[in-house]
Structures are given as structure tokens and as C-alpha cells.
Structure 1
Amino acid sequence: MEDAWLPAAPNTGHTYRDRVDAAALQPRAGLPVDAVPSVSGFYAARYPHSSRLLWLQRLAAGEISRNGQVLRADGPLVPGDRLAWRRPPWEEPAVPRLPAPLWDDGDLVVFDKPSGLPVLPAGGFLEHTVLRQIERRVAAGDLEDGAGLPRPVHRLGRFTSGLLVCARCRSSRAWLSALLRDSTAATPGPAQPAGCRKRYRALIAVGPASALAGLLPGESLTITTPIGRRPHGRLGAIWAAGGERPLPAASTLTLLERREAGWLVEVAIASGRPHQIRIHTAAAGAPLLGDPLYRPGGDVEPLVLPGQGGYHLHAHRLSLTAPEGRRLELEAPLPPRLRRLGDGLGMAP
């Protein structure tokens, strides 16, 4: 349906603000000794997606100011300097519209987020996000905000569909954040905190050397590969298997169906690391089908960004215990490709 999408459209631009601290002025590997203390060097080190030459061009265009004064050329920095980059308007790609809530009790609001829709402004998206669509819906009177604006409590990747929890009250957001925050892998395996259980559906590409290759339908495997920061060609660093200062993590995969085009699995996560399911399935030699970033074994494609899609991952079920003790059982309907064959729609394109 045509009205199910927001068409590509220009936004009004945005100002990105930074404060310079002493650590940011230390020389970085791969840059000239005098590179980082300059404005262009600071930006090139902090935002490696753009080269130093491009930051010099932005300076010349008058897009960058230091301590409130517009700069036209590069210059030195000192700790405490305040920088602002006024990014000109750019066109944001078309995205799906946010559907009506699955649940709304006056405080908690739960949406079935479509694949392709970012949750918060980032990665080239400013207006075409869940948050902005909620704000516009409230302004139009289509969504109540009596206890405050419903704000997302957690993130889902742009191309991850399914349950997204929002809350109007600040205290509820704090409670939910603590509940949804990772429990670490102190108790790895299917056992998850009694207060929160998260289950996903996904399609994976299982290689012959994968730890999952011998799995039979109904059987499970727990993956406890730590997740840390590793070098990345465009972002400087990215979350991946192992890496620097790795954090414990646990995911349990249960095989539902073997298919030629990809195995259908359910994933229960006992921690909440960034891109955890994408990283864990890849580390086990069975990355999400169509994932362009995470390679079998845990390596990453150096020029691919996390926001690039192609994979099939859905936040299907979420169980929460509210502060007053009531149990919330939430479920987002499965996309056709993530349904079992027995449903009659499991292999739909």
C-alpha cells in the first residue's frame, strides 16, 4: 500500500555538537602528529566515516563553528573548546510508516516496528524514525501523551522488525531500561531473568563447518561468545565477536525448520549486547541469511555499515514482570518468511 511508506524527502538539516577534552587531542595511530589538535583532525578522528579533506571542505563552506564563531579555515584546538557542525539538509530515504500500537495502557506503548525503519535519529536518518513518527502522531492527536511523550526504551536494528517497547513516564522508562538491560552471561543458556524473557525468530545460513550443522529440529545450542569492539574501515570500531574489552553474552538458538533457503530458528537472549544475535550466529558459522556485515566465524566486512539490511530477524515475544507484579506477555505477528511451514505461509517470498 502506498500510504504504508513515508516517501523519500529532504529534512531541515541538523547541528552536531562536541566538546573537546584533553584525551581527544592526543595523536592517533595513522594520523600525522599534528593532525588531531586541529579542527579537521579532531573531526576526522572522531568521525572516521569522513576524511580529513572532507572536513576541510566543510570548514571552507562555513558549516563548522568553534565557541560560537564560524570558521572558514582549519585551526588549533584546546581542551574545553565547543564545536558545532551545521550539516545542511539532506534527503532521507523512504521508510515504512509506524503502525498503530499493539498495546497501550496509558503508560506503556508497544509497537510492531517494521523492518527498514530506524528507531532513533542516527546513520543519516533524522525525521524518518520511530521517535519522530510518534511525535507527529501525538501532535496530530492520534496518540495520547497525558503522562508524557511515549519514548522508546530500547533499540532494535533498522532492519530488525517486531516488538518495540516505549513508555510515557520517566520512572517507567528507568524501570524498563533496567529490566531490558543485559543480565550478562553469569547464568548462560536458556535460563533468563524471571523479570524479562526475549525471543526472536530468524533465518540463518548454516555452513558445513558451523557449530549448528548437526542440529536437528527441536534441538538447541547456547552461544556464549564475548562481544567487544573491533577495528572497522569506515567507523573506526564496531561491535563484533571478541575484540577489545569483550563483554559476556549468551544466546540460545533452537532449530525450528531446515530449509534450502535458510534454517528457521528461535533465539532466546540472556543478555543485550549491540547486534548480539547477528554477531553470535555469525560466530557460530551460521550468520543471519542475507547479513552483509558479519562473516561466518565472527569477522566483519570492513566497508559495510551496521545499518545495511538484507537479513531476516524479528523480535517475536517479550515477557515482562511489571513493578506491581503483573505479568505482561507481548507478541508481534510473524512476517510470512519467518512462519513455520505448518502455518501455510512459511515459505512466502
Structure 2
Amino acid sequence: MENKQFIIEQDSTNLRLDVFLSNQLEDKSRSYIQNLIEEGNVKINGALKKSNYKLRINDEVEITIPEPIGLNIEPENIPLDIVYEDADVIVVNKPQGMVVHPAAGVYNGTLVNALLNHCKDLSGINGVARPGIVHRIDKDTSGILVVAKNDNAHNKLAEQFKDHSMTRSYVALVEGILKNDEGTIDAPLGRHPVERVKIAVIKDGRRAVTHYKVLERLKNTTLVECSLETGRTHQIRVHMAHIGHPLVGDPVYGYKKQRFNLDGQMLHAKKLGFIHPKSGEYIEFQSELPDYFVRVLNILRNEFK
């Protein structure tokens, strides 16, 4: 069971309770949040309220998130690309198409299934469905992520994610030609007001900051490096689409007509750096661009000659 508390500030006043919680709990659906409220797991100043309650300044919102129903997560002999491992952490290079952890409708073939087969000692902070998982990258995003092997490591890594002190750098291929060699996108993100499966730039969203730098301009596309100052759901995908340059191959935020036979967006988590939870030393890891990414770049470079 997890408890969260929020004090309502001026910029959140008059928001519906369920809308506010959707912005705060980005990984939860609107229906899940409404069920939390209906089942008495959300209190305003100690009292139960309905989903349409309009928040007031200094309201104290208390949320109790019940433990997920236990899942029987089976170890599976799935190959892992392990970049680094010690007694506290595992750094893995996740392939495109792999889900990080089991969730509704996806109970096998995930990174967690593979990790359980490789290592029995994973932190239990995130419950049975997400052992060791400190952060996630999308199913169709490839690249580096770190997994905690014990609760102490998990807590220390989670704190670094919370205070944005980790180094997180991605390589993305976006539609169109970016004019500026570098820039910063500072635009708040939250659940799309209509299409709840999407994230959108919204006035009352959570602050999100992405820094980008052009690496190479190709035919009708630009290869960029994106560094995250914050780590919101779908942040790079939404931010680049917001400035008119969605990721190539993005089925949600990109162009409907795709030029390449892709299984998802052209986004690779290339670099991850953090303070080691035990030694206190800064360590950093990088991974090469995967084959699917290189294939498309080679096509574009040949066309650009």
C-alpha cells in the first residue's frame, strides 16, 4: 500500500479532483483514479469527495493506492544485454518491442520476466509485478536503464530520479529539418483531456523540460540528442511533436503515413549516468544505436548524397 499527499496551490485551484490526480499520477488511467475516489481511497481535508469536486487553495489531498492484486510472474529464459552488474545494480540495454514490466494484458515476455530468470535478488519496493524497476522506457523505445537489486539501492536511485540529478540522454530521429542547432522545450505535460491514453502539453500539467541538440540533418529528417531535465511519461515524444517535429515512426504522436517499415518510434536511450548507491561514485554508461536505427539512418544518408 502506498500513500501520497498533496497541498493544493494556486495554479491547481478549481480543477476537478480526478483531473488533478490524473496529472499527478501519470501512469494511472482516469478510470483507475475515479475508482480510487469512489472506493474511498482519496480524502480532501480528511473527508471523502466525489470525482467532480473542485479543488480549493490549501486543500490537503490524501491518496491511498492499494497494493496490486498479486500476479504470478514467472521467470523466463529471455536473453539480456547486460551492460554492467554488481551486488546493487544491473544496467541493461533493452531492445525495442520489449515491455519493461507486467501489467494488465501483458504477463510474460517482459524485462522483469527475464530479470527474474537471471537474478533472484531484486528490490521489492515496487511490488511483485515490478521488482527492481526504478524507472521505465516505453515498449518501443530501446536503450539503457538501471535496475535495483536491493531496497537500499532502489531508494537511493529513486531519489536521484526525483531530484533530476541523473544524466539521461537519448538519440531521436524526428520529422522535418530543425532550424536551430540546439534548444530547450519547457512545456508542462499531463493526460490528454479527451484521449486519455495520450499525454499532452496542458496548462495545468507537471513541469517538463527537454534540451535538444542537432547531430545531423538528413533528407526531411533531423537526428537529435535529447537530454532530460525532468522525466515525464512520453516526454520526448510529446515535446518534439509539440514543436512540429514528431519522432519518425511514432504511432501515437507522429505522422499517420510512415515512410519506413518500423515497429515504433525512432528513440534510443543512449546514455545513463548516476551516483552509485553504495560507492557514492558517479558512473556512466552508453549503448550503441541498435540495428533498426542504423538501417533507417543508412537509407536516409544514401538518399541525402
TM-score, with normalisation over the residues of structure 1? 0.57
Q: Which runs of 5+ in 2 are unaligned?
A: 1-31, 43-47, 53-65, 72-76, 125-129, 257-261
On the 8 A contact 2:123/2:151 being kept in 1, the answer is no
On the 8 A contact 1:182/1:273 being kept in 2, the answer is no
- Give the equivalent residue in structure 2 for 1:128: 109
1:221 equivalenced with 2:183 (yes/no):
yes
Change (3 A) 1:182 1:282: farther
Q: CA deviation at 1:330?
A: 0.8
Instruction: Give the structure with higher Rg (CA).
Output: 1
- Give the equivalent residue in structure 1 for 2:288: 333
Give the partner amino acid of 1:156. Answer: I
- Cα separation, 2, equivalents of 1:240 and 1:146: 34
- Cα separation, 2, equivalents of 1:110 and 1:328: 11
Q: 1:21 aligns with which of 30, 36, 39?
A: 39
Deviations 1:83-125 (A, max 9, x none): x9999xxxxxxxx944241100121101100000000112521
Deviations 1:257-303 (A, max 9, x none): 1112631111111001111000110001000101121258xxxx9xx
- Give the equivalent residue in structure 2 for 1:178: 159
On the 8 A contact 1:337/1:347 being kept in 2, the answer is no
- Give the equivalent residue in structure 2 for 1:276: 235
- Cα separation, 2, equivalents of 1:201 and 1:335: 11
On the 8 A contact 1:110/1:163 being kept in 2, the answer is yes
- Cα separation, 2, equivalents of 1:238 and 1:224: 19
- Cα separation, 1, equivalents of 2:79 and 2:133: 13
Give the partner amino acid of 1:107. Answer: D
- Cα separation, 2, equivalents of 1:222 and 1:99: 34
- Cα separation, 2, equivalents of 1:326 and 1:123: 38
Give the partner amino acid of 1:205. Answer: E
Identity %: 30
Give the partner amino acid of 1:226. Answer: P
On the 8 A contact 2:274/2:283 being kept in 1, the answer is yes
On the 8 A contact 1:264/1:338 being kept in 2, the answer is no
Change (3 A) 1:86 1:137: closer
- Cα separation, 2, equivalents of 1:347 and 1:126: 40
Change (3 A) 1:182 1:286: farther
Change (3 A) 1:336 1:249: same
- Cα separation, 2, equivalents of 1:261 and 1:213: 10
Q: Secondary structure at the match of 1:165?
A: strand
Q: Which runs of 5+ in 1 are unaligned?
A: 1-15, 29-81, 88-95, 140-144, 184-192, 207-211, 302-307
Q: CA deviation at 1:168?
A: 0.8
- Cα separation, 1, equivalents of 2:295 and 2:182: 17
- Give the equivalent residue in structure 1 for 2:168: 198
TM-score, with normalisation over the residues of structure 2? 0.65
Give the partner amino acid of 1:317. Answer: K
